[in-house]
Amino acid sequence: MIHARITGTGSYLPPLCLSNDDLVARGIDTSDEWVVGRTGIRTRHFARDDQSCSDLALEAAKNALAAAGRAVNEVDLVILATSTPDYIFPSTAAILQKKLGMANDAAVFDMQAVCSGFVYALATAEKFIRSGSHKCALVIGSEVFSHILNWDDRTTCVLFGDGAGAVVLEASDTPGILATALHADGRYSDILSVPGSVSGGKVTGSPFLQMDGQAVFKFAVRVLGEVAVEVCKAAGIATSEVDWVIPHQANVRILQATAKRLDLPMEKVVVTVAEHGNTSAASVPLALDLAVRDGRIRPGQRLLLQGVGGGFTWGAVLLTF
């Protein structure tokens, strides 16, 4: 039986890091007290004007490949999760392929599931690997949400940041990914969206992120609890047997409420939202890489990765690291 196993992780944060007070100094009508109290966010990173989604992805991908000890041309599948692609087309995965110098005709495509994007991409890559069609996948979440923030909307612009995270997922004799679950409910597509498109040379609708924060909060806590139980059940383990939960980092209160629902101590939850803000599809692989590199996550431990975001989409991946 072919299993799929993470063999390397990597991430990248652009150097510009702004605190809540820095946002106030730039004219945003907010306060450190409000943002920390409601969200737990203290700082976030923003890409330079000349840095695109593929640039951030490139650095994260190089770090993951180095950690896995793989050369770019050993990769036969690239799935890049993003809601802030470089272009309408080609895919950001194809642009990344060029920037990485890959010349082996690997299959590459983008995944659009907003903040669940990395979990969707990882679960998809697992199916390719387990089918035997591919052996070495690069799975990336990369975002420049600063491009779609309305700086006149203080209810959303303080929440997000830019960054990228990546993993190398390889065919293996031993598990690996133990269970995956992916879900969506398009009836909730309006509570978090960027309802714009390009047509006839113009943007129609709005190119900025809009959100019903309280509806998102309630939805996220419910489905993150449900999907955690679903993958643990599928793998035949109790949620208490999970060593680390690596959830999408939207808001520390969502993470606390989910942990409480699952009766898990916050000590088992990797939390990066204070430093990174919400980096959408990048948040889970960024948090994973951070906890791998600082030694918290060790080989053989059970990890629960979770995403929830626009669509509405949600999902989880349970794995042995």
- Annotated active-site positions, please? 115, 248, 278
Nearer of residues 63 and 283 to ligand ACO, judged by Cβ: 283
Nearer of residues 123 and 129 to ligand ACO, judged by Cβ: 123
Nearer of residues 52 and 251 to ligand ACO, judged by Cβ: 251
Instruction: Output the smallest distance, CB 141 to ligand ACO, in A.
Output: 12
Instruction: Output the smallest distance, CB 308 to ligand ACO, in A.
Output: 5
Instruction: Output the smallest distance, CB 111 to ligand ACO, in A.
Output: 16
Nearer of residues 108 and 250 to ligand ACO, judged by Cβ: 250
Nearer of residues 8 and 161 to ligand ACO, judged by Cβ: 161
Instruction: Output the smallest distance, CB 18 to ligand ACO, in A.
Output: 14
Instruction: Output the smallest distance, CB 33 to ligand ACO, in A.
Output: 9
Binding site for ligand ACO (CB under 6 A): 30-31, 34-35, 38-39, 115, 154-155, 158-159, 192, 211, 213-214, 216-217, 220, 248, 250-251, 278, 308-309
With helix as H, strand as E and coil as C, how does the chain read?
A: CCEEEEEEEEEECCCEEEEHHHHHHCCCCCCHHHHHHHHCCCEEEECCCCCCHHHHHHHHHHHHHHHHCCCHHHCCEEEEECCCCCCCCCCHHHHHHHHHCCCCCCEEEEECCHHHHHHHHHHHHHHHHHHCCCCEEEEEEEEEHHHHCCCCCHHHHCCECEEEEEEEEEEECCCCEEEEEEEECHHHHHHEECCEEEECCEEEECCCCEECHHHHHHHHHHHHHHHHHHHHHHHCCCHHHCCEEEECCCCHHHHHHHHHHCCCCHHHECCCHHHHCECHHHHHHHHHHHHHHCCCCCCCCEEEEEEEECCCEEEEEEEEC
